[in-house]
A and B are shown apart, each in its own frame.
Chain A
């Protein structure tokens, strides 16, 4: 058995300042298998990969075997030498260098000769691409390529050395459907050649489509390794989260009290011919594949990148929104998808973050902030949304994902919006917190707030949306009634 294994990791633990990220993890990968590593955000997948690639050193006691050989002190270079190539979610490429150099860069590190042979560089790149049966413009600067092509560059880079294992961290997150298909055919091709793949993804359908075996992590602990035949969606999810996901399905309302209307909104390269109506007290779901133009639409409505043409009506009055400032003044709030870079100022306290949108409410007419009004406001929101710990001066980056999202919600609810647009409201937060946020959104809508929920997670849309807009390639493909809607019906429109 052990001889068959390409990679064996046992008793891997990793401690960071303040966190035990991994505890006694094990992972075994056979030659020529596609192995899925799964777990929720924060389960420790990325940390494990960084140990495997030598970026982090594991705590004492870890045993890592490659081809049955015990490895000590894996370095980034050593890991590459052993045929392990990691393709990170951000690709780890150099935007200012050419395609050829991005691919060949790894071949230069740790060599004796320190002089560069450009002909060789091009040949190395060409050969690596040839192994993948790909063609890319070698002399082009990387930043000029599309994301999908940049990913191919990252994959090609793995083929510079004699690669045995390719680790792919969320490789499909930035790809269109067609691009995912062609990525999968490349992966299957690699498997046939005896190369192992460690595949990390959140998308279960993709995992089942391609993986042979699954290793599941939860909260930094090893849950188990299973063959494809042992698992189905439900079992996998319950192993990942510890219990089955059962979103509470709210009863769907039919409303006819238009508050907000969008007519023929266009923005070149972003979306086209968008028209819809949002009723008072309604939760409108917008879904579709990543890259269908959902967030772009929301950001245009919010004034971050205004649309080229089209009309927006609020209460029947035409709106001209050119900046977020104006939309806030009109009672429109937008909670962005990326909590860490767009939603929060991570280095600042809960108080600073919550107050940022309502500075005028906690200040006197001379523009000075009233400490008491500030405390009162923050305490109210900490209490109402049950933010933990109850420490207004705590730095936002030290909170859990669920509590961070509650802060973002607080800061926008504090503006008392008429329309709340939430982009992926429960992305990367634990299941308990998700249910709380669903309940909160529902309560708000019952109090008369109109809410647009943008989500890729279909169960979430099915649970809370009264109506669903499905977007496909920049357009609205269908408007569906939330009653008795199924995932299949949505997917048919989205693809």
Chain B
């Protein structure tokens, strides 16, 4: 039991979970409607896209990389998917395939620039971001794509289960989009925990040189990470379209920083090697709950950014300071505490030097 308690206290994820719980309690004290099924479902539904994309960003951060192009990639995916549905086919399966392929392809480009041409991730993805956003906005001229086929709209409205919600006459259910989040999280968790690729990602994040020495191909793993991230963004793009039922090419400007902030809140290190699916989900939840709570507490929407900024800075500061305290405590020299024995040898020494 004691051991379990210490692991809980030690684990970063648990700390964040604790913060999440405390904040949730505070919010529900101020506003009873926070902990209602209806509100929680709304929170979930409006943050599914963020959550799916954080799974991809988690992998990137684990390798010690960063990707600032994700907002442009999801914009491009939604446009591709929108045009495909309007002009070609609205077959649900085909739509998913197209979205995922588009996302993966853009991820591949990032991956090649980073893994093969060794361009620093932040610079490479800055470049692709500029290119992809440019192409998207040029082709769409920033106009919305509407007229999404009815079958896709219907698909987006599917819910699982039916239950009554306080304050609403209509019974609701869990939105189908939630299923994709579960799928993405489960797949990412499985890859990270149970595949050679996933453990390799942790290994190169922990110590790249050591990983290469034992034969792990870090270039290929890096490539995989960016392609997989693109794949998830593709999925998120289709999910987003099914929720919004239209495509706004400008919807995601600035979104990359929200995703990075959520993943970092979840305990992932930007230096690589540390982070988990569970932590990321908690981080995303914390991010969403804060935003939702502020709305419920009738705090002006402009406060959201301030709160997120402050929470981000404090959570990382606490982490850094804790680590520094621990390092200070580290014993570097195994000091001889046996003073009596020690004194004896010293005395004999003095006698000798005097003689």
Q: Which residues of A contact B211 (CB under 8 A)?
A: 94
With A92-B209, A92-B210, A478-B349: A80-B333 Cβ-Cβ less than 8 Å: no
Please, what's the 1-or-0 string for B185-214, where 1 marks a CB less than 8 Å from any CB in chain A?
A: 000000001111111001101110111111
B335 at the A interface (CB under 8 A): yes
Contact B349 A96 (CB under 8 A): no
Contact A114 B196 (CB under 8 A): yes
Bound: A477/B345 CA distance, A = 8
Binds B, one of A1-9, A34-42, A102-110: A102-110
B162 at the A interface (CB under 8 A): no
Q: Which residues of A contact B212 (CB under 8 A)?
A: 55, 76
Q: Which residues of B contact A477 (CB under 8 A)?
A: 342, 345-346, 349
Contact B333 A110 (CB under 8 A): no
**Which residue in chain A gives the minimum CB-CB distance to B195?**
A114
B273 at the A interface (CB under 8 A): yes
Bound: A185/B216 CA distance, A = 32
Task: Kindly identify which residue among B198, B203, B273, B349 contacts A105, using a CB–CB cutoff of 8 Å.
Answer: B203
Task: Kindly identify which residue among A96, A101, A479 contacts B353, using a CB–CB cutoff of 8 Å.
Answer: A479
Binds A, one of B112-120, B247-255, B324-332: B324-332
Task: Kindly identify which residue among B214, B273, B336 contacts A106, using a CB–CB cutoff of 8 Å.
Answer: B214
B180 at the A interface (CB under 8 A): no
Task: Kindly identify which residue among A75, A76, A473 contacts B335, using a CB–CB cutoff of 8 Å.
Answer: A473
Q: Which residues of A contact B273 (CB under 8 A)?
A: 94-96
Contact B194 A94 (CB under 8 A): no
Tell me how far the C-beta of A426 lies from the nearest C-beta in chain B, rounded to whole angstroms: 23
B-facing residues in A319-336 (Cβ within 8 Å): none
B161 at the A interface (CB under 8 A): no
Contact B335 A92 (CB under 8 A): no
Q: Which residues of A contact B331 (CB under 8 A)?
A: 269
A interface majority secondary structure: loop
Q: Which residues of A contact B349 (CB under 8 A)?
A: 477-479, 493
Tell me how far the C-beta of B220 lies from the nearest C-beta in chain A, rounded to whole angstroms: 12
Q: Which residues of A contact B329 (CB under 8 A)?
A: 269
From B196, B209, B332, residue with most partner A Cβ within 10 Å? B332
A152 at the B interface (CB under 8 A): no
B-facing residues in A83-97 (Cβ within 8 Å): 86, 88, 90-97
A-facing residues in B63-115 (Cβ within 8 Å): none
Please, what's the 1-or-0 string for A232-276, where 1 marks a CB less than 8 Å from any CB in chain B?
A: 000000000000000000000000000000000000011110000
**Which residue in chain B gives the minimum CB-CB distance to A299?**
B332
Q: Which residues of A contact B202 (CB under 8 A)?
A: 94, 96-97
With A105-B203, A473-B336: A116-B194 Cβ-Cβ less than 8 Å: yes
Bound: A97/B274 CA distance, A = 9
Bound: A94/B222 CA distance, A = 17
Please, what's the 1-or-0 string for B270-282, where 1 marks a CB less than 8 Å from any CB in chain A?
A: 0001100000000
A475 at the B interface (CB under 8 A): yes
Q: Which residues of A contact B330 (CB under 8 A)?
A: 269
A-facing residues in B297-326 (Cβ within 8 Å): none
Q: Count A-B pairs with CB separation below 8 Å.
A: 118
A77 at the B interface (CB under 8 A): yes
**Which residue in chain A gives the minimum CB-CB distance to B334?**
A473
Contact B335 A96 (CB under 8 A): no
Q: Which residues of B contact A480 (CB under 8 A)?
A: 353
B167 at the A interface (CB under 8 A): no
A-facing residues in B265-292 (Cβ within 8 Å): 273-274
Bound: A115/B190 CA distance, A = 9
Q: Which residues of A contact B198 (CB under 8 A)?
A: 116
Contact A75 B333 (CB under 8 A): no
B-facing residues in A146-184 (Cβ within 8 Å): 176
A392 at the B interface (CB under 8 A): no
Contact B195 A473 (CB under 8 A): no
Bound: A293/B334 CA distance, A = 9
Q: Which residues of A contact B346 (CB under 8 A)?
A: 477-478
A474 at the B interface (CB under 8 A): yes
Contact B210 A93 (CB under 8 A): yes
Task: Kindly identify which residue among B193, B206, B214 contacts A96, using a CB–CB cutoff of 8 Å.
Answer: B206
Bound: A118/B274 CA distance, A = 19
Contact A101 B207 (CB under 8 A): no
Q: Which residues of A contact B207 (CB under 8 A)?
A: 92-95
Q: Which residues of B contact A90 (CB under 8 A)?
A: 210
**Which residue in chain B gives the minimum CB-CB distance to A111?**
B196
Tell me how far the C-beta of A333 lies from the nearest C-beta in chain B, rounded to whole angstroms: 22
Task: Kindly identify which residue among A76, A108, A176, A493 contacts B199, using a CB–CB cutoff of 8 Å.
Answer: A108
A472 at the B interface (CB under 8 A): yes
Contact B333 A292 (CB under 8 A): yes
Contact A291 B203 (CB under 8 A): no
Contact B199 A105 (CB under 8 A): yes
**Which residue in chain B gives the minimum CB-CB distance to A94?**
B206
Contact A109 B206 (CB under 8 A): no
Contact B353 A481 (CB under 8 A): yes
Bound: A54/B216 CA distance, A = 13
Tell me how far the C-beta of A97 lies from the nearest C-beta in chain B, rounded to whole angstroms: 6
Contact B206 A97 (CB under 8 A): yes
Contact B199 A270 (CB under 8 A): no
From A86, A118, A477, residue with most partner B Cβ within 10 Å? A477
Tell me how far the C-beta of B270 lies from the nearest C-beta in chain A, rounded to whole angstroms: 14
Please, what's the 1-or-0 string for A66-82, where 1 marks a CB less than 8 Å from any CB in chain B?
A: 00000000011100100
Contact B213 A101 (CB under 8 A): no
Tell me how far the C-beta of A401 lies from the nearest C-beta in chain B, rounded to whole angstroms: 22
Please, what's the 1-or-0 string for A462-474, where 1 marks a CB less than 8 Å from any CB in chain B?
A: 0000000000111
**Which residue in chain B gives the minimum CB-CB distance to A297?**
B333
Q: Which residues of A contact B196 (CB under 8 A)?
A: 108-109, 111, 114-116
Bound: A109/B212 CA distance, A = 11
A-B contact list, 19 entries, CB within 8 Å: A80-B214, A80-B215, A88-B210, A92-B209, A94-B207, A97-B202, A97-B206, A101-B199, A105-B199, A114-B196, A114-B197, A116-B193, A116-B194, A118-B194, A474-B333, A474-B335, A475-B342, A477-B349, A479-B349
4 further interface pairs, Cβ-Cβ under 8 Å (given A77-B215, A116-B199, A493-B349): A93-B210, A109-B215, A269-B330, A272-B335
